[in-house]
Amino acid sequence: MEDTEDFVGQGPHPVDDDVFKEPMKKRRRSDRDQRFRAFPSVEQSALKEYEKLESRTRRVLSNTYQKLIQSVFLDDSIPNGVKYLINRLLALIEKPSLDPIYIGLFGSTGAGKSSLINAIIQQAMFLPVSGESICTSCIVQVSSGCCEQYEAKIHLLSDQEWKEELKNLTKLLHRTEELDREEADAWDRDDAVEEAIWKLQMFYGNGAERKNYEELLRAKPKGKIPTSRIITLKAEEAGELSVKLDPYIRTQRRDLDGESAETQIWPLIKHVEVTLPKSELIPEGVVLVDIPGTGDFNSKRDEMWKKTIDKCSVIWVISDIERVSGGRAHEDLLNESIKACQRGFCRDVALVVTKTDKLHLPEYLRERKVGNRAISSQREAVLERNEMIKLQRNRILKEKLKRSRGNQGFHQTLKAVCLKNGIYASRTLARIDLNEAITQPIYDQIDPVFGGIFRTGKPTDSTLLPHIEAFKNSLQEKMMEIGVRNGWKYDSYKKSFLIQEISAILGGLEDYILRKKRRIYESLTTSVQNDLKPCYEEAAQIAGKKACERMKDVIRRGVDRQVAERMFERAQERMQHQFQQLKNGITEKVKGSIATMLTLASSQGDGLYKELADVKSEYKEMEKLHRSLREVAENAVLRRGMQDFLLRMSPSKTAPPKA
């Protein structure tokens, strides 16, 4: 069941019958010295020592794991207590040193996301850039690793995922009734239709847009598709990989002549992972994510777009200086980022303004309305303008914007919305989500409360995680009382075991809660979408004269009917049900894990065999490692303190002698 899914990261693994899993392989020693060059020199020494101790610790844990496995290998059944130990050891062995930190770069066309990543990694043209049009066509993740070369993996849609998109594209293009001349011209100019035609022509060739779904299934694609659905590129130099990668991630122009083999499979590309070798600029574990546009027409790509945003710890909303104030696309992206804080892992949203040196001085001076202070240079004008914009963005006001074209050229976009149950997402056009728009007034009311419950910064009385921390402390005290009653008062091993296992069990709840909160937060729009699905399906079948007005009428009547039948009340009940499932899941996880832990600590019932493998030597080694770790930490503190002292006493920091 979904409510009993595993903890991620810290918590012990649940009881698992497949306990004979091999631990992951060790990191190559030759890469160690290169990993920490992005950190200050005073920290590099400590980090290297930490990694050596970590490697030795994993080796001791692996030896212990192997001994336990060998002691029960021939048994038909393994007691729960032993399974707990084995799975706990495996979790510790495979636990990464640091969980990845995703930094999402979110911005509209030409805002400078790719340029900013290029600047960070100091490779001017590594990702495609252009000031005139959309460049990056898919999600691109950039990180550093232990590889010796520059490497990129291009992930493609599966066969089933492409068939789903193909079906929707052909439905969008299918006209069952004759249109008059004006409607036909509008249909041909529709943005959604133009994009659908372009994709089919790119993948199957000219004329593909006139074929139906079954004909296209039998058609042979122009490009060669690898059976693994992954294309791997490698190069010795950044520039070499950039040239190879460019046709896969650059948005292809629709007037392009002489397509390459790479561009022919462009519609299949889902996302791209780029790994840099031993970067001094990006610490290992930090992932920069270039997130283009506002989603995708393909369901899997669109879901990945949302999940990528939600897993980012930090989101940078990128906007150039000319579009930072009042642009609708910019406001939509900023709102989407704020929602990520509510439903995902995001803890910080920052506005990054690019091209801030771009200013036409005569024009600025003519329009300037700031006091009477004279401006004597371009630099002064730029600094003044930038400060004004910074102040304005601190008090952002959402503007109500009005689709000026009316219905002309819009009805096929509306049809695309209906085909996707109320959502239309494109790599190039603004995102449309009718379900979200319908539920927005409810979200306006619940967002402060929801944010308070799942707050990760400064806690409030209703914040959940501090209550779990208080429960952990209280539970540890109770365990000590139980220990005293059971004669464990002088057994330091059992006391330490109880304390650390309670911390691990309850510590693992944070990730579990954060993953669940997305489902809870989106339950309102999901509920409304499910209730309105029949009217979306009905509207999607409409074609011919006055199609747009007829589709809108079907949707209006469907919404009115569902509201009368308690659509919003049902959405509220479903959200409450999700909260109850979270509560039950937390309770079940804590009760089950602690019960197993107590059985193990007491060595009663079927918790353990009478004799298990002797791990005394491994225990002594762990004690030595623990002492070494404390020494390294203390030395690191001393080094930092000494460095701060020397900086304060440096002659350059002291006042000049008096005359």
Q: Up-side HSE of residue 113: CA atoms within 13 Å toward CB? A: 28
Which residue type sits at 430? A
Higher pLDDT, 517 or 253: 517
Is residue 569 very low, low, confident or very high in pLDDT (cuts 50, 70, 90)?
very high
Checking if the pLDDT of 401 tops 80, the result is no
The token pair at 318 is: 């990128």
C-beta atoms surrounding 29 within 10 Å: 9
Higher pLDDT, 215 or 13: 215
pLDDT score of 573: 92
pLDDT score of 533: 92
The token pair at 83 is: 């399974």
Alpha helix stretches (DSSP H) within 454-522: 464-485, 492-507, 509-521
Nearest to 527 by CA among 438, 608, 610, 599: 438
Checking if the pLDDT of 400 tops 50, the result is no
Average pLDDT over residues 495-505: 80
Contact 19, 83 (CB under 8 A): yes
Report the percentage of the chain scoring pLDDT > 70. 73
C-beta atoms surrounding 643 within 10 Å: 13
**pLDDT tens, position by position, 510-557:** 878 888 888 898 899 999 999 999 999 998 888 777 788 888 889 999
pLDDT score of 183: 53
Q: Among 148-152, 178-182, 302-306, 314-318, whose mean pLDDT is lowest?
A: 178-182
Of 78-92, 184-198, 244-258, 483-497, the range with the highest mean pLDDT is: 78-92
CA distance 410 to 536: 16
Checking if the pLDDT of 391 tops 60, the result is yes
Q: Among 23-37, 212-226, 409-423, whose mean pLDDT is lowest?
A: 23-37
CA distance 447 to 517: 12
Checking if the pLDDT of 232 tops 70, the result is yes
What pTM was computed for the model?
Answer: 0.67
Average pLDDT over residues 299-313: 79
Nearest to 354 by CA among 64, 615, 65, 114: 114
pLDDT score of 11: 40
Is residue 230 very low, low, confident or very high in pLDDT (cuts 50, 70, 90)?
very high
CA dihedral (56, 57, 58, 63) positive or negative: positive
**pLDDT tens, position by position, 263-304:** 778 888 888 999 988 777 787 788 999 887 666 666 777 777
Task: Enumerate the β-bridge partners of residue 379.
Answer: none
Contact 268, 26 (CB under 8 A): no
Average pLDDT over residues 56-84: 83
Of 85-94, 396-405, 643-652, the range with the highest mean pLDDT is: 85-94
CA distance 513 to 235: 41
Task: Enumerate the β-bridge partners of residue 102.
Answer: 287
Average pLDDT over residues 435-451: 86
pLDDT score of 60: 93
CA distance 7 to 97: 17
The token pair at 313 is: 């710890």
Residue 377 has what DSSP assignment? S
Q: Up-side HSE of residue 58: CA atoms within 13 Å toward CB? A: 17
Radius of gyration for the chain, computed over Cα atoms and rounded to the nearest angstrom? 30
Characterise 112 by phi-psi region: left (phi > 0), alpha (psi -120 to 50), beta (else). Answer: left
φ, ψ for residue 487 (rounded to 5)? 80, 25
pLDDT score of 451: 78
Of 35-49, 331-345, 541-555, 639-653, the range with the highest mean pLDDT is: 541-555
Contact 140, 344 (CB under 8 A): no
Checking if the pLDDT of 13 tops 50, the result is no
CA distance 187 to 184: 5
Residue 656 has what DSSP assignment? P
Which residues does 223 contact at the CB level (< 8 Å), separation at least 6? 203, 261, 262, 264, 265
Is residue 178 very low, low, confident or very high in pLDDT (cuts 50, 70, 90)?
very low
CA distance 465 to 511: 11
What average pLDDT does the structure give for the chain? 76
Residue found by looking up tokens 């303004």 in the block:
353
C-beta atoms surrounding 542 within 10 Å: 21
pLDDT score of 502: 84
Residue found by looking up tokens 């290998």 in the block:
73
Helix axes 509-521, 328-343, angle to 10 degrees: 130
Which residues does 164 contact at the CB level (< 8 Å), separation at least 6? 298, 299, 300
Contact 295, 426 (CB under 8 A): yes
pLDDT score of 398: 35
CA distance 343 to 337: 10
C-beta atoms surrounding 231 within 10 Å: 20
Average pLDDT over residues 543-572: 88
| Longest alpha-carbon distance in the chain | 96
pLDDT score of 422: 86
Is residue 229 very low, low, confident or very high in pLDDT (cuts 50, 70, 90)?
very high
pLDDT score of 154: 92
**pLDDT tens, position by position, 328-351:** 666 677 777 777 777 777 778 887
Contact 196, 175 (CB under 8 A): no
What are the angstrom distances between the C-alpha of 460 and each of 349, 445, 454, 457, 502? 20, 18, 10, 9, 24
Question: How many residues would you count in the chain?
Answer: 659
Q: How many helices (H) and strands (E) does the chain have?
A: 22, 10
Contact 68, 623 (CB under 8 A): no
pLDDT score of 5: 38
CA distance 531 to 527: 6
pLDDT score of 61: 92
CB-count exposure of residue 359 (10 Å: 0-12, 13-18, 19+): middle
